[in-house]
Amino acid sequence: MSGSRPLSSGLRALRPEAFGADPSGERLARIRRSPHFKDGVFQNPGGTARIRPSGSTVDFAKVFFDKEQRPRRAPEGNIPVHPTTLADIARPPAIGLRLTWMGHSSVLAEIDGQRVLFDPVWGERCSPFPFVGPKRLHPVPLPLAALGPVDVVVISHDHYDHLDLPTIKALAGTDTLFAVPLGVGAHLERWGVSPDRLRELDWHEATKVGGLTLTATPARHFCGRGLRNTQHTLWASWSVAGTEHRIFHSGDTGYFDGFKEIGAEHGPFDATMIQIGAYSDFWPDIHMTPEEGMRAHLDLQGGRPHGVMLPIHWATFNLAMHPWAEPGEGTLAAGRATGSRVAVPLPGEPFEPTAETVPTDPWWRAVALAPSGGWPVTDALTEAAIKTSADAGAKAQADTDTVAQDGPADGTGEPTTVTAG
């Protein structure tokens, strides 16, 4: 696939504002110089990824219109939302790191005295039009204006459920910086963000914001907002390193071996925010299942349980055919199978990943249609169980280090696949 010619001025005038802008000038020249840009498009790590539903239309329709499973794709009741207040996020985190999941992939990270806002989506629909497209399943935990000053907004890619026009336009009126993948800056400039507030990075490039180092790291996905997708904007995951803490945001991605390399270079991480929703057998290369997400978390941590995994990209929008509650259930099951700490806060509920306890209550069960066999008898890890499993993992690693000269330890560190929902 090769890049197409720029739109004519007449067609550009008719283009909806939400479509953003195509890269041009020096930005386009920089894109063409990227080692990850070939044959007119950005290339995925690990080879070509299928970005359109695979299989026949008939097979897709059978799954999409399945009468038994369809009701499970949305909650039965109102999703509980933590009533986030300024008091929740005004006081500094006790140990220097606090995360507040706002729903989907939007996370406010307070790290070593700085505030980072990942993929903020405050709009009602992830769509170029306000009257059609996937609609928010729960309200935002607090108004964007009540969030307070943000040092840097980090965008993973330009899809509508990660790059939201009304949210960016509201933030354009502040003095925050924006860290974005290569090419995405064209959209933001069209929406009112001045070029001097943009940090536009290719994979493996880094920028400094205060005491933080933000690095754009590879991901396995794709891009595009308009009817004409030129693949001229990059997608990325992100590593953020402060003076004391390190965090990782996956953006949207399929599983690939590159997580091990990212972990070796930038980890281990105190917390990972990993995409585990909107997966399907029809697009297995571009989104991860909960089991794959846990595997990625372990890869990022050097193959052993470390830090806390926060599942993202679920619960807020209905973007796939799996049951609405399945990503949460599957992530808890994968955490149990690997002895990994998993945090499942309510939308808007702040928590500190390095604290002794993190939120673990499977809150979605109160508002989801239960699976035919009922909810698992083994509930989410209790705080004591999490601490025990983490201690056991640390002891096992210490034992392995002690006897390393006698040969490799038993086990592969791979998560056990557990059917959820």
HEC string of 344-401 equals CCCCCCEECCCCCCCCCCCHHHHCCCCCCCCCCCCCCCCHHHHHHHHHHHHHHHHHHH
For residue 370, pLDDT beyond 80: yes
In angstroms, what CA-CA distances link 230 with 4, 23, 197, 234? 7, 10, 25, 11
Report which of 140, 99, 135, 128 is spatially closest to residue 359, judged by C-alpha positions: 99
Q: What is the DSSP letter of 314?
A: -
The pLDDT-based confidence of 15 (bands split at 50, 70, 90) is: confident
Give me the mean pLDDT over the 293-313 stretch. 97
The predicted structure's pLDDT at residue 60: 62
The pLDDT-based confidence of 355 (bands split at 50, 70, 90) is: very high
The predicted structure's pLDDT at residue 65: 60
Give me the mean pLDDT over the 290-309 stretch. 97
For residue 56, pLDDT beyond 90: no
The pLDDT-based confidence of 69 (bands split at 50, 70, 90) is: confident
The predicted structure's pLDDT at residue 159: 97
What average pLDDT does the structure give for the chain?
86
Packing angle, helices 258-266 and 290-300, rounded to 10: 40
For residue 90, pLDDT beyond 90: no
pTM for the whole structure: 0.86
Residue identified by tokens 């992100």 is: 238
The pLDDT-based confidence of 118 (bands split at 50, 70, 90) is: very high
Report which of 202, 213, 93 is spatially closest to residue 152, judged by C-alpha positions: 213
The predicted structure's pLDDT at residue 70: 72
Whether 62 and 282 have beta carbons less than 8 Å apart is answered as no
Cross-strand pairs, 99: 109, 351
Q: What is the DSSP letter of 214?
A: E
Report which of 158, 232, 154, 134 is spatially closest to residue 198, judged by C-alpha positions: 154
Classify strands 308-312 and 341-342 as parallel, antiparallel or unpaired: parallel
How many angstroms separate the CA atoms of 188 and 225, rounded?
A: 13
Whether 271 and 98 have beta carbons less than 8 Å apart is answered as no
Give me the mean pLDDT over the 73-94 stretch. 89
How many angstroms separate the CA atoms of 37 and 314, rounded?
A: 30
Report which of 105, 164, 102, 110 is spatially closest to residue 133, judged by C-alpha positions: 164
The predicted structure's pLDDT at residue 2: 34
Give me the mean pLDDT over the 19-43 stretch. 95
The pLDDT-based confidence of 27 (bands split at 50, 70, 90) is: very high
What is the residue type of 37? Answer: F
Classify strands 198-201 and 206-209 as parallel, antiparallel or unpaired: unpaired
For residue 147, pLDDT beyond 80: yes
How many angstroms separate the CA atoms of 192 and 318, rounded?
A: 30
Give me the mean pLDDT over the 58-63 stretch. 64
How many angstroms separate the CA atoms of 303 and 287, rounded?
A: 21
How many angstroms separate the CA atoms of 235 and 203, rounded?
A: 9
How many angstroms separate the CA atoms of 177 and 198, rounded?
A: 6
Among 66-70, 198-202, 337-341, the least confident range = 66-70
The predicted structure's pLDDT at residue 64: 63
In angstroms, what CA-CA distances link 260 with 129, 218, 247, 290? 39, 11, 15, 17
Among residues of the chain, what percentage have pLDDT more than 70? 81
For residue 406, pLDDT beyond 80: no
